[in-house]
Every structure is written in C-alpha cells, then in structure tokens.
Amino acid sequence: MEPSPAPRLPTLLEHVAGFSRALHDAGLAVNTGNLIDLCQCFQFIDIARRDDFYAAARATLVSRHEDIARFDAAFAQYWESPRQLVIKRQQDDPDDEDAAADSGRGARLMLPGDEDGGDGGERKSLALSWSPEEALAQRDLGELTEADVERAQRLIREIVAALANKRGRRHAARRHGRIPDLRRLLRDRSLYLADGICPLPWRSRRISRTRLVLLCDVSGSMQRYSRFLIEFMYALRRELSDLEVAVFSTHLTVITDLLRRRGVAASLREVADRIHDWAGGTNIGGSLREFNERYAPHMLNGRTTVIFLSDGWDRGNAAEMRREMGKLRQRARKVLWLNPLLGTPGYQPLTQGMQCALPYLDHFLPAHNLQSLAQLRACCAPSATEPMRQ
C-alpha cells in the first residue's frame, strides 16, 4: 500500500537489522541467510499488514517450536517501540556485556521461574544463595583396589561392545557379506568378459557406532557412590572413543577433556578442583537445561545414548525438569538412568526428580555395585530395543 517504497527501503533494512539484534538479545540465533530470505519476502507481501509481516518474519527467522514464544515477545516489544536505531552494538558497553555474558555462563544457574533469561547479575546473586550445602569439598577419590578396577573393566568392555555393535540399515561394500552387490557386479566389466563366471561382490549392513554421553550426579546425596562413579567414567573412557562426560549438582560441568588427558590420580584431583560444588545440593532440571542449551546441539545426535548416574534427589523445579527431559529424549536415541538406590530393597522411585524423569527413560536400572553393570550390558545388547515407556 506504500505509494513510494524507494525512500523507505533503507530504514526498513535498518529495522530488520535492529530486529535481528533484538532477537539475538532474546537468545534466538538468527542466521544471515534467513534475514536475506525475510528481505526477499517483502516484495511479495504488503509489509504494512502487521499479520503478514509477522508471518513472514516468523517463517523465515524461527525454526523451532520452543522459540516461538520468545520470538513473539521480542516481536511485540521491538515493533511496538522500535528502539532508537542507532546501531549501538559496539559503542555502549562491549566489554561489560561480553564479560557479563561469559561469567554468567560459568556460574549459570537456572532457578524455578527463571525462564526468560533475565539479566545475568540477578542470576549470579541467586546462585550464591541457592544451595547451602554447596561446599568447596576436595575429595580424594584415587583409592581404588586393582581387583575392582579389573572387574569393572571387563564388564564395561562387554557393554561397549554391545553398544558399538548395532547394525545400521546402510550398506557398505564388503568382500564377504550377506547380500550380493549387483550394482558393482554390473559395473565391473569382468562379468561380460568371463562367460558369466566371476567373483560375486557382496555388501552388508554397516555397523553404526554409538556415541555415549554420561551425565553424573555429584551432589551431596551421591557422595557415597562417588568411587563407583569415577570408576565407571574411567572405564568407559578407556573403551570408548566417542564419549562425553559431564557432572552436575547445582550446575553442570563437562569434564571430557580432563578425563582425556593424564593419569587417574592427577585428573581426579583436577576434576574435584574444577567442580566447585562437588557434594553440594542438586538442581537436575537446571543442570539439564544448561546441558540442553549449551552442549546438546553438538553432543547429541540420532546415535547417542545418554546415561544418567543419579539418585534422583532433586531440589530444583519439577516442571523445568520434565520439560528438559522431554527435550533430551527427543534428541537422543536412548536415555538410560542408573540409580544407585534402586539396588536397595524396598526402594520406590518416589523422589520428585525420579518421578519427572521416568516417563522419558528407555531403561531405569540399579547401579550400586559392579554387578548392576551386568544388567546395563543386557540393556545395551542389540536385542533390547524395546523401550520400557508405557
């Protein structure tokens, strides 16, 4: 409906850039290519119509259902009162902002109700008051008997073998396979030249390798099992090349690189150093959210099995935990939960955390000693693909 769009155009582009910035501030990553798509849309729609403009912006800039609410908020806020379009990116507070964002990451803690990614300062102060038990406890975890380690090692080798031995549906050429490879046969001219007698090429299903992500609870209530936990991490580490390990209590730390580096004793000290809240309180939902936001996009794929090691004692927000479990479940191939308490006679998974998690689990297993690992092995066997979800 604009009679002369020519003079408007530069301002419009600036607005689009400003809006993209607003989305970025709201935590929505906007891809430049998609911004260009949006600009291309303008030639087809009447940009004076708010609903059409909204539809075009949402279709091009959003690609996830979870982002729609945040997008809507940013949209309403920006287009109701577009900020003064001085592109004030670099001039205002580049250092402050970045530094705040970074340190906010390190000590990030999601609290119940803290969903809209409010400002970092408040979050930080809350983090200090959140968990009274969070103590800088240095634990010496290096006293393992050789026999224990060996036993665990043997079981874990079997588990890893079971995990890695899933046959995919894709085929690969093989010297000896199950299915004759007709395409290769026909392409190879020796068939036509040798009176129909020639070696038959084969193909077979490729083995698809599994990636394992281990999420270990190191909060106070899990303290008793920490030896087993560390043992488990290291044994897996030794056997599986594609493994990521993270530990959590009130927030989450990825320690894959630490496990990779040096000898057990030295690393354990460093692990305990790095995780300040070792043996503190628990916020599973918040930790999981941190994992989903920061690590899940590159750690999880359709081949990933996620293993939780936790007793499920949770002092975080139940709704958040359910939501985050749902997200995790969508991204991973399998989610297993190893609970040390499950081995205790008469134990019922009634804790809030366990209740939230159960609907999203493929397997819920005990993990109080090495024997329970045998059960894990059974679950990882190729035949055990039936999910236990009702």
If the CB atoms of residues 139 and 331 are measured against other proteins, the closer one turns out to be: 331
Select from 4, 7, 64, 176 the one that contacts other proteins (CB under 8 A): 64
Contact, 129 vs 350, CB < 8 A?
A: no
Smallest distance, other proteins to C-beta of residue 261, A:
30
Q: Which residues of 32-50 are buried (b: 16+ CB within 10 A; e: fewer)?
A: eebbeebeebbeeeebeee
- Is residue 41 within the footprint of other proteins (CB under 8 A)? yes
Q: Is 68 among the residues that bind other proteins (CB under 8 A)?
A: yes
Q: Which of 263, 302, 345, 346 binds other proteins (CB under 8 A)?
A: 302
CA distance 159 to 363: 15
Q: Does residue 52 bind other proteins (CB under 8 A)?
A: yes
State the Cα–Cα distance between residues 359 and 389, nearest whole angstrom: 6
Enumerate the β-bridge partners of residue 309. Answer: 216, 338
Please work out the total of residues on this chain that contact other proteins, with binding judged by CB under 8 A: 41
CB of 74 to other proteins, least distance (A): 16
Least distance to other proteins, CB of residue 171, Å: 8
Binder of other proteins out of 140, 169, 261, 348 (CB under 8 A): 169
In the complex with other proteins, the residue whose CB is nearer, 153 or 204, is 204
Q: Which stretch binds other proteins (CB under 8 A): 51-59, 87-95, 158-166, 216-224?
A: 51-59
Per CB under 8 A, does 107 bind other proteins? no
φ, ψ dihedrals at 202, nearest 5°: -125, 165
Residue 297 binds other proteins (CB under 8 A) = yes
Q: Residue 232's Cα: distance from chain center in Å?
A: 20
In the list 65, 175, 176, 261, the residue contacting other proteins (rule: CB under 8 A) is 65
The answer to the question of residue 241 lying near other proteins (CB under 8 A) is: no
Cα–Cα distance measured from residue 351 to residue 342, given in angstroms and rounded to the nearest whole number: 12
Asked if 306 contacts 334 with a C-beta cutoff of 8 angstroms, the reply is yes
261 near other proteins (CB under 8 A)? no
Find the binder of other proteins among 175, 189, 263, 386 (CB under 8 A): 189
Nearest Cα neighbor of 18 from 90, 71, 84 is 84
Residue 168 binds other proteins (CB under 8 A): yes
Residue 187, interface with other proteins (CB under 8 A)? yes
Region binding other proteins by CB under 8 A among candidate stretches 27-35, 86-94, 245-253, 378-386 = 27-35
Residue with tokens 């083995």: 207
157 is an interface residue for other proteins by CB under 8 A: no
By the 10 Å C-beta count (0-12 exposed, 13-18 middle, 19+ buried), 100 is classed as: middle
Choose the binding region for other proteins from 89-97, 148-156, 181-189, 360-368 (rule: CB under 8 A).
Answer: 181-189
Q: What is the footprint of other proteins within residues 308-367 (CB under 8 A)?
A: 327, 330-331
Given the rule CB under 8 A, which of 133-141, 156-164, 295-303, 310-318 is the region that contacts other proteins? 295-303
Distance CA 26, CA 116 (A): 8
Q: How far apart are CA 198 and CA 18, in angstroms?
A: 68
Binding segment (CB under 8 A) for other proteins, from list 1-9, 46-54, 85-93, 366-374: 46-54
Terminal Cα-to-Cα distance of the chain (whole angstroms): 55
Among the listed residues 2, 5, 8, 59, the single contact to other proteins using CB under 8 A: 59
293 binds other proteins (CB under 8 A): no
What span, in angstroms and rounded, lies between the C-alpha atoms of 280 and 134? 4
DSSP letters for 53-94 = HHHHHHHHH---TTHHHHHHHHHHHHHHSPPP----TTTS-H
Q: How far, in Å, CA of 105 to CA of 107, rounded? A: 6
Per CB under 8 A, residues contacting other proteins are 31, 33-34, 37, 40-41, 44-45, 51-52, 54-56, 58-60, 62-65, 68, 168-171, 182-183, 186-187, 189, 191-193, 297, 301-303, 327, 330-331, 390
